[in-house]
Structure 1
Amino acid sequence: MAQEPTWRAREGLPVGSEAGRYLRILQLADIAPLHPWTLQSLAPSELPLALPENAEHLWHAQMDFTLEPPVGLELEWIQTKVGLISNSAYPFGENDGAIWAGRGLTAALEGGGFLRYGPLHLRLAPEVSWSQNRNFDLADNGYSGSAIYLDELHPESIDRPQRFGEEDYVQIGLGSSALHLAFPGMSVGISGAGQHWGPTLNYPLLLGNNAGGFLHLFGQTDSPVDLWAVRLNARYILGWPTQSDFSPVEVEKGRRFVTGAVFSLTPRGVDGLELGMARFIHAMPPEAGFQFSDAFRVFTGVTDPEPGLLLVESQNRLAENQLASLFFRWAFPRAGVEVYGEIVKDDFARDLRHIVEEPDDLMGQVFGFQKVWTRSDGRLAVLRAETVNTLVHHSERFRRFRLGKSPLRLFWNGGLQQGHTHAGQLLSSPTAYGGSGWTLGGDLYHPQGRWTLDLFRALQTEFSTIHFETDGPEMSDVIYGIKLEAVQFRNGVEWRAAFTPSLNLNRNLVGENDVFNLAIGLSIQGLPW
């Protein structure tokens, strides 16, 4: 009996999947063609441009890359995925979708099927997760009662709970579900799946898969638009993120919508180079009702000019949360190397003069690289490194605070008090919430799976972000850790095990409060019987 593949190209490519990670490595190994990886998820009609032409590759027995057009109605199941995560001391997890892995045991289940009919592609894969949510020491945010669970730094200005109450925490969501309708050169549809904008692997700055997906309408190119000087890939969204039960905003006042757009340009004659830009805006529905023009707010100005004011005096729209990023990725498949970087900036500004004087205010950056070696036995060895820094800018420290004694930092917002979040989790990397960090890792891809070793550091908080002037303990809340992960394919089933011991120094900014956590993750995709 033929072995069932763990992934088939015709089912679609969800963000964060093992197949997506593998395809990017194949590109650097000069096995898969050059195609932008800075706009994810890829449309089903776009996938042929990213798949290797040669059927012989390391995991050819594990993944089915054939992608013929459907003949009539095609309806199939996707591989069910079951996962378990255990944290011994405190919540730990990042870029793991909608799951919130609290202290204790967390379980997740995703399953469903897909349908193809002509230009229509429907992937229906809802997800449910449960967290034991055991008690752990919270940081003091100055509140009492149920408000003690709110964010420790900006409890009134971001929907980022330290803990989701005292009971078990259950989530039911759309998972990687999406409906695509393909037209010549583009696709449109509706989706609840996660997205990843930009070139990063570990620390997405504008939009990543840390909180999973939210319901959104989209339109995107499914093949590069040739503008002679550059080739253009683009994606636009109109979406509706939700808030948690511990949001600082009342439910009836918490309804918001987002508009976003991301563009990737490949210059003519410079193979492998991607230059990109993106913008993302949270806004409240206007009192007069949602207008057609509101759906395209992302394509209009940063500030809101007022009659009688000079352009440099025009004011930011206070009832919005605006973010923007610039990024690049340069891949050299013959050398097996890629380098990339991204900067993100809160569009908020007192006025245009502030933008000119301090362009690096409320800004963060990421830089990284990957190197792939193809061994004589066909195995692929990978070395990668990535660093992020969004530490509070000098103008926000000490005497120049803009919100009482609390400095401004990326991703929170005083107007839209949910901040840059969905369902209580950041849409970007948690490490990028006014902190810094790095990851140094290596992978070995072999015919039966993958071995991975990661070393990482994440600075959560440093004293000047909460203490007035230079008073307070001169220390940092920082995590050091090691991640050991193994992926094994056996009889059409993908098994995964991860062990992540970490040490949180000065946890909650309490001196010598050093806490050890062991995170254990186990998952299975496919049915072993």
Structure 2
Amino acid sequence: MRLNNKIMLAAVLAMVSFDAGAQSVPVGSMIDGLLRREQLLGKLDSSVSLFIRPVFYPAPVTASGNADSTRTGSEVRNNIGKVTSRGKASFGLLPVAWTQQYNARAPYGWNDGPMIPARGYQTMLTGGLYASYGPLSLQLKPEYVFAENKAYEGFPIYADEFRSGVYYGMYNHLDVPERFGNGSYSKLSWGQSSIRFTVRPVSVALSNENLWWGPGQRNSLLMSNNAAGFKHLSLSTVKPVRTIIGSFEAQVIAGRLEGSGFTPPGTDMTYAGTLLYNPKNDDWRYLSGIIAVYTPKWVPGLFLGIARTFMVYHDEIGNGVADYLPFLSPLQKKNVGEEDNKGRDQQSSVYARWFFKEVGAEMYVEYGRTDHAYNLRDLTVQPAHSSAYVFGISKVLAINNAPKQHLLVNVEITEMRSTKSNVIREGGIWYVHDRVRHGYTNRGEIIGAGIGTGGGLVSAGLNWFSGLKTIGLSVERYEHNADFYYFAFDDRIPEHRWIDQSIQAFSTWDYRGLVFSAKLQAIKSNNYQWYVDPADPDQGNIKYNFHSEVGILYRF
């Protein structure tokens, strides 16, 4: 018995490491993109899925087994903070980053964390410190945002009573204000701060960091950095756990979502004598979720994942373990009981990513449902009901006589609109919920796909890169809330669709201790705010917009 116990203890000690706490790579940062590019080149650990972000240094950069990983690891180290170690203790300053954004006519853009949808000038400043002692680590990285938040031409709420009724019918159940107040906006938050206890390969944290789940690069259905980070507890793997059948990664979260505190326009609007605006309560929401990823040992580069989230108002949580960990409940409604009466909203997704190191290519997909099936028959008969998807491909191209320079081609498609089955059965509008009336949001922005409820995006890009340096060009077609279009316009004529077409140039460039970034985007909005002049419907409602971003990061 003692021998068996010693063998078991030795096996456990072989799996864990009591070194300094893991340091995270912020979601959406320049290093975040670098890791993915370098993995396609075969310079990073091929068992890391990148489905669960932030990733933790040094896990993805220490197991690739080639000399280039040393260079990449050095770049990661330099760009997430300069750390000095003495024995079990470490201390360092995190990079200071200053981001500026400008929207000429109307709000545009997503996946920018605490920055809000706003017209005019907006800026964000962040920096901080990192400290650790043994397995305990502290990352203090607050974020400050200021937005000019100028008035702009919003939804024509008083133009048509019926369509205003449809507008409120949807946005009474979704907290995404058209404008964050009537004046300038400022907010100081915990940003990407965390307290973490790490015993590799597992880490327990109290964190405010942004999370990203899944393989998508422009959108993620369940978790992204579109909204500000939210306070949460997490239990995560910081590196793949290897077994005889392959590798596993996972994360469990329990968090707190807040409302925006702002109202939609025209709160005094009525329809048939009834006030359209229905105020939301001010209770916070409890969000719980899990994601698990499996990498088969026999299929290198293939990653398979599944994720599930539940959201409920704090006052309606319940007192049982199953109320705090509802993602452990059966996937089929028939096995849950009175699920529809529990006042909670759930989303689920499955993922797949297959990258081919030999040719520097990948393809990936996320398929999600916002209303789980009643039983297996329901799922097989109508698999598209309440569904959405993200699909993408990327390919790295070599440049002759320039071994350290490459081109990257990427195409990604996201579709969020309701399917035809929604006509004959309820459910199926992403991020909107009858009982949880703030919807799947935090502080006024959706925490899933940034294109929002009913949105659709086709994006294609080409960029040159060498390490952190990038220069690129991309084009996008973005349809705003097709679900609103289908509900509000009985004629279904294409002239009422609100579709943006855009082209953008972007670049990142590092020089000594500085990293510069810039993006310039020109947008043509067809039928802006779904509005068409009844006197001349063929002309449409075309508006032009300009979005720009400039950033500078200083590495100590």
Is TM (by shorter chain) over 0.5?
A: yes
Indicate conservation of the 8 Å contact 1:93/1:101, yes or no: yes
- The 1:356/1:235 distance shift into structure 2, 3 A limit, reads same
Does residue 450 (structure 1) correspond to residue 462 (structure 2)? The answer is no
User: 46, 50, 63: which one pairs with 2:59?
Assistant: 46
Does residue 18 (structure 1) correspond to residue 30 (structure 2)? The answer is yes
Indicate conservation of the 8 Å contact 2:471/2:508, yes or no: yes
Indicate conservation of the 8 Å contact 1:507/1:514, yes or no: yes
For 2:523 and 2:71, the matched residues in 1 are separated by 32
Once the two structures are superposed, what CA deviation does each residue of 1:110-149 show, in whole Å capped at 9, x if it has no partner?
11111121112221100010111111111145699xxx9x
Does residue 381 (structure 1) correspond to residue 393 (structure 2)? The answer is no
- The 1:157/1:266 distance shift into structure 2, 3 A limit, reads same
User: 45, 49, 54: which one pairs with 1:33?
Assistant: 45
User: 146, 152, 170: which one pairs with 1:136?
Assistant: 152
- The 1:327/1:69 distance shift into structure 2, 3 A limit, reads farther
Deviates more, 1:186-195 or 1:368-377: 368-377
How much does 1:179 deviate?
Answer: 1.8
Determine the structure 1 residue equivalent to 2:87: 71
How much does 1:181 deviate?
Answer: 0.9
- The 1:471/1:25 distance shift into structure 2, 3 A limit, reads closer
How much does 1:60 deviate?
Answer: 7.7
Does residue 431 (structure 1) correspond to residue 451 (structure 2)? The answer is yes
Determine the structure 1 residue equivalent to 2:17: none
How much does 1:58 deviate?
Answer: 7.3
Determine the structure 1 residue equivalent to 2:504: 483
- The one-letter amino acid paired with 1:383 is V
Indicate conservation of the 8 Å contact 2:507/2:518, yes or no: yes
Does residue 331 (structure 1) correspond to residue 385 (structure 2)? The answer is no
How much does 1:358 deviate?
Answer: 2.4
- The one-letter amino acid paired with 2:504 is K
Determine the structure 2 residue equivalent to 1:525: 553
Indicate conservation of the 8 Å contact 2:429/2:453, yes or no: yes
State how 1:127-166 maps to structure 2 within 5 Å: 127-141=143-157, 154-166=170-182
How much does 1:380 deviate?
Answer: 2.0
- The 1:165/1:174 distance shift into structure 2, 3 A limit, reads same
Indicate conservation of the 8 Å contact 1:265/1:274, yes or no: yes
How much does 1:285 deviate?
Answer: 3.2
State how 1:79-118 maps to structure 2 within 5 Å: 79-118=95-134
User: Which residues of structure 1 form unaligned runs of 5+?
Assistant: 1-8, 306-310
User: 167, 175, 191: which one pairs with 2:183?
Assistant: 167
- The 1:132/1:312 distance shift into structure 2, 3 A limit, reads closer
Deviates more, 1:51-60 or 1:474-483: 51-60
State how 1:290-305 maps to structure 2 within 5 Å: 290-302=319-331
Determine the structure 2 residue equivalent to 1:210: 226
- The 1:241/1:50 distance shift into structure 2, 3 A limit, reads farther
For 1:448 and 1:197, the matched residues in 2 are separated by 23
**What SS does structure 2 have at the residue aligned with 1:199?**
coil
**What SS does structure 1 have at the residue aligned with 2:451?**
helix
- Return the TM-score normalized by structure 1: 0.87
**What SS does structure 2 have at the residue aligned with 1:24?**
helix
Does residue 391 (structure 1) correspond to residue 417 (structure 2)? The answer is yes
Deviates more, 1:180-189 or 1:46-55: 46-55
How much does 1:256 deviate?
Answer: 1.4
**What SS does structure 2 have at the residue aligned with 1:280?**
strand
- The one-letter amino acid paired with 2:35 is L
How much does 1:487 deviate?
Answer: 1.0
Deviates more, 1:92-101 or 1:268-277: 92-101
- The one-letter amino acid paired with 2:410 is R
- The one-letter amino acid paired with 2:478 is A
How much does 1:320 deviate?
Answer: 0.5
Determine the structure 1 residue equivalent to 2:542: 514
- The one-letter amino acid paired with 1:297 is P
For 1:333 and 1:219, the matched residues in 2 are separated by 30
Once the two structures are superposed, what CA deviation does each residue of 1:78-132 show, in whole Å capped at 9, x if it has no partner?
1111111110000011111111141100011111111121112221100010111
**What SS does structure 1 have at the residue aligned with 2:215?**
coil
Aligned length: 505
Determine the structure 2 residue equivalent to 1:345: 369
Percent identical: 23
Cα RMSD of the aligned pairs, angstroms, is 3.1
For 1:448 and 1:223, the matched residues in 2 are separated by 23
How much does 1:199 deviate?
Answer: 0.3
State how 1:169-188 maps to structure 2 within 5 Å: 169-188=185-204
Indicate conservation of the 8 Å contact 2:60/2:239, yes or no: no
Determine the structure 2 residue equivalent to 1:261: 290
Once the two structures are superposed, what CA deviation does each residue of 1:335-376 show, in whole Å capped at 9, x if it has no partner?
100110001111256787754542311110111011112333
Does residue 493 (structure 1) correspond to residue 522 (structure 2)? The answer is no
- The one-letter amino acid paired with 2:42 is D
Indicate conservation of the 8 Å contact 1:243/1:423, yes or no: yes
Deviates more, 1:50-59 or 1:455-464: 50-59
- The one-letter amino acid paired with 2:411 is A
For 2:453 and 2:515, the matched residues in 1 are separated by 33
How much does 1:52 deviate?
Answer: 7.1
For 1:444 and 1:58, the matched residues in 2 are separated by 19
How much does 1:207 deviate?
Answer: 0.7
